[in-house]
Structure 1
Amino acid sequence: MSLDDLTADVTDAASELGDSIDVTLDRETRTELAMLTAAMEPTDADELVRRAVHAFFQQQVDMGRLDFQLREQYDVTYDEYLSGMTFDEMTGGAGAMGSGPSGDPDDRRYQF
């Protein structure tokens, strides 16, 4: 799969989700959400669920799990998705070792 596949899948999933979703809560989740709703501001359960999704997403990004899954399934990273191009495209599609961005094999400024 590719960056284009990921972009299409994200667009499709966002379209399917729409502006709201029905979520079935098990007893534990319902109790935890009720506790958070009673204790936190705002007291709107929808806002707490939105915050939870944001927190979970950020955790996955910070721990590298999202990149791992994206690399495994689409062969791209989240940064590549955000930029709209792969690392190879960002670096000019650097070819064989020994050739820098200019294409000159003697240009070693970008080699480590």
Structure 2
Amino acid sequence: MSLEELTDEMAQQYADFDDELAVSLDRETRNELALLETALEPEETDELVRRAIHMLFQTTVETGKLDFHLRSGFDVTYDEYLSGMTFGEMTGADQYPKLDDERRYRF
């Protein structure tokens, strides 16, 4: 897969989300959410969910897990996604033809 395919899939996923997202919670998650709601007293429960997504995203980026999954699935990193260019494109490595070992030293 490539940077273009990642961008296309991201656009599709983004389009699939509505302003509201229904999420089913298991008992453990409900209990943790209730405790956070009680302790942090946000104006809305939605705020806690938004914070949780931001924290998960940040942790995934900082630990390298996002890059690992992006590299495995799309052969790009998060930095490459943000810049819109692969590392090879950034450094110009993609501009040169592959070396042919049989004709390498012929003039």
TM-score range, shorter chain: 0.7 to 0.9
Paired residue for 1:24? 24
Paired residue secondary structure (1:76): coil
**RMSD over aligned Cα atoms:** 1.3
- Give the letter for the 2:10 counterpart: V
Question: Is residue 42 from structure 1 mapped to residue 42 from structure 2 by the alignment?
Answer: yes
Deviation string, structure 1 residues 3-51 (Cα, Å, up to 9, x no partner): 0000000110011112221000111101110110111142411000000
Q: Structure 2, unaligned stretches of length 5 or more?
A: 98-107
Q: Which runs of 5+ in 1 are unaligned?
A: 97-112
CA shift digits 1:88-108 (9 cap, x unpaired): 111123547xxxxxxxxxxxx
User: Which residue in 1 is equivalent to 2:14?
Assistant: 14
Could you list the structure 1 runs, at least 4 aligned residues long, displaced by more than 6 angstroms after superposition: none
Flag the structure with more relative contact order, 1 or 2, with Cα contacts below 8 A and sequence separation at least 6: 2
Q: Relative to total residues, which structure has the larger helix share, 1 or 2?
A: 2
The answer for the alignment partner of 2:86 in structure 1 is 86
State TM-score, norm by structure 1.
0.81
Q: Percent identity?
A: 56
Q: Is the 8 A contact 1:37 1:43 kept in 2?
A: no
One-letter amino acid of the structure 2 residue matched with residue 23 of structure 1: V
